[in-house]
Amino acid sequence: MIKVKNLTKYYGSRLAVDNISFNVAKGEIVGFLGPNAAGKTTTMRILTGFMMPTRGDVWVAGYDMLSHSLEARQHIGYFAEAVPLYTDMTVRSYLDFLARLRGLDKNRIKTRIGDVVGICHLEEYIDVLIGKLSKGFRQRVGVAQAIIHEPEVLILDEPTVGIDPIQVAMTRQLIKELGKEHTVLLSTHILPEVSMTCGRVIIIHEGRIAAEDSIENLASMIGGAKRIRLEVAGPSQQVAERLRQIKGVQRVSYQDSDYTVECAAGQDPRGQIMEAIVRSGWSLLSLESIEMSLEDIFLKLTTEEETNR
Amino acid sequence: MRNTITIAGKEFKSYLASPMAYIVTGIFLIATGFFFSISPATYTETSINGFLQAGVILLLLFAPLLTMRLLAEERKLGTIELLLTAPVRDSEIILGKFLGGLGILTVMLGLTLYYPLLLIIFGDPDMGPIGAGYLGLLLLGYTALAIGIFTSSLTSNQIVAAVVAIGILLALYFVGFAASFLPEALGEVIGYFSLSNYFPDFMRGIVDTRGIIYYLSITALFLFLAIRSLENSRWS
């Protein structure tokens, strides 16, 4: 559905996207992840035809974006990061205008406006001026316009920024629902969002793809390195020293009575740790093993890149 | 074509929903009404020349106030992203915006029709110069709109768009007067490019094809430049 090959974009002399390639298959929900200014929005703006790439090829819904941009745009629904809305229009006239530009006929527009207003819970606000709506509702209008023409491909640029937690949860649920019928590329810098909604992640950093895989694979790829967090009542320095002596423990850091133990790949020294602490006469207040979270993967990938250079 | 009309309709409606068009129309009517009522031409010749002479200058100043938001505001609010990612040609966007502006300007000039109507009621005016004068005014207005849309496509600042358009229009208008100070051949060439060169003929009731072609060419040129400027923004 989406195919990007050797895509490069310069703004003047500043390199924004550096030779990236990826594919999104039909029916996938792919998370497009990266810190601010990583090149996410630039890539999405090229995918939607808003901008032309400096180099490289882009196909969306089977159309070459460079030579058949109009046909491709017909099949794309786009939620832009800035949530562009005509504030002097009502929700209804705004949706009607955009549906018409996308070639829907009169009857279809009527039914689709009814549909999307229902999906996005905007029924009560349909004849309200967009300028009078709160941020969360504007966000929903933005989503409604993206799906009104039932596009095959949905490109959502940070759809949950700046809205309250209840609406965030609703939006995520909505994206999951949409993913059943559409191909979705979702950009975000909020990590839990990706693990909640996406099947696959593309991590982009400083214009380049730092990693691309399913969330589980990414976690194991980075090394099954386990981390253990414990709380011990005892003299901090001595406890840390004792922990370091245990086989399979790589690094120990602590703050007051909280310790974080990083283990070598494939090792699980929880039993030895417990024993060692009890034998030394200290009391073990808690012990838990922490799975590598998306945050860790992300931080590791984006910071490692920096130290490599 | 369908998209052009959709955009034109939307622009026309948003003119009606915002105060700018009413303010511009109001001031235009007050000012032209004033000049129409004090001009000797109104009473001695029963012509609308008093209105036309003032109307030309006022159009040059006011048309850019109508067009300044057309693209600059879209760029400022980011809604340009909606238009440029919709399956719509750049030329359809520009033409739609132009037609929207043309609609409101035509309505504005239509509201001045009561000047000739007064002349018809209280006198016996020569309809030739009135018809030709309106044609000239419309053509000049559309030219001003095209120039205004072009400058609006260059910036996200509406004030800049309006001021630059007024600058271009005044330059094109007054260069005709400067032409008389230049050597004859050069002056004549420059005169051909002046907005003011053709209007007196229309006021006298002469519909000169050269004048019509001139206004339409300048309009087309600036619409073309606006389309290129929009296309260009995709590559920057």
The complex's ipTM?
A: 0.89
At A294 the pLDDT is 64
Q: Which of B69, B77, B81 to mutate to test the interface with A (most CBs of A within 10 A)?
A: B81
Average pLDDT rounded to a whole number, residues B209-214: 92
Comparing CA positions, the residue from B199, B192, B162, B158 lying closest to residue B176 is B192
At A27 the pLDDT is 87
- The pLDDT tens digits for A37-67 are 888 999 999 999 999 999 999 999 999 999 9
CA angle A186, A190, A195 (to 5 degrees): 70
Percent of chain B with pLDDT over 70: 100
At A69 the pLDDT is 93
Cβ distance of B14 and A100 shorter than 8 Å: no
Residue A82 banded pLDDT, cuts 50, 70, 90: confident
Chain A residue with minimal CA distance to B84? Answer: A50
* pLDDT score of A307 more than 50: no
Cβ distance of A78 and B81 shorter than 8 Å: yes
Domain boundaries, chain A: 2-220, 224-291
CB of B20 within 8 Å of any CB in chain A? no
CB of B157 within 8 Å of any CB in chain A? no
How distant is the alpha carbon of residue A87 from its chain centre? 28
Find tokens 């600059």 and name the residue.
B72
- The pLDDT tens digits for A214-234 are 877 776 665 556 778 889 888
Residues of A in contact with B92 (CB under 8 A): none
Question: What 3-state DSSP class applies to B33?
Answer: helix
pLDDT greater at residue A91 or residue A237: A91
- The pLDDT tens digits for A135-184 are 888 999 999 999 999 999 999 998 888 778 888 888 888 888 888 888 99
CATH superfamily for A2-220 is P-loop containing nucleotide triphosphate hydrolases (3.40.50.300)
Cβ distance of B82 and A52 shorter than 8 Å: no
Average pLDDT rounded to a whole number, residues B115-134: 90
Q: Which of A93, A101, A104, A141 to mutate to test the interface with B (most CBs of B within 10 A)?
A: A101
- Contacts of range A189-196, beta carbons closer than 8 Å, 24 or more positions apart: A189/A33, A189/A34, A189/A35, A189/A36, A189/A40, A189/A158, A190/A160, A190/A161, A191/A33, A191/A293, A191/A294, A191/A295, A191/A298, A192/A294, A193/A31, A193/A160, A194/A31, A194/A33, A194/A294, A195/A293, A195/A294, A196/A172
CB of B210 within 8 Å of any CB in chain A? no
- The pLDDT tens digits for B108-119 are 999 999 999 998
Percent of chain B with pLDDT over 90: 69
Chain B residue with minimal CA distance to A13? Answer: B236
Pick the CATH number of A224-291 from 3.30.2130.10, 3.40.50.720, 3.40.50.2300, 3.30.70.1340: 3.30.70.1340
Nearest CB among B7, B81, B86 relative to A102 is that of B86
Cβ distance of B235 and A52 shorter than 8 Å: yes
Cβ distance of A50 and B234 shorter than 8 Å: yes
- The pLDDT tens digits for B24-78 are 999 999 999 999 988 888 888 888 888 999 999 999 999 999 999 999 999 999 9
Residues of B in contact with A68 (CB under 8 A): none
Residue A309 banded pLDDT, cuts 50, 70, 90: very low
* pLDDT score of A94 more than 60: yes
CB of B84 within 8 Å of any CB in chain A? yes
At B5 the pLDDT is 96
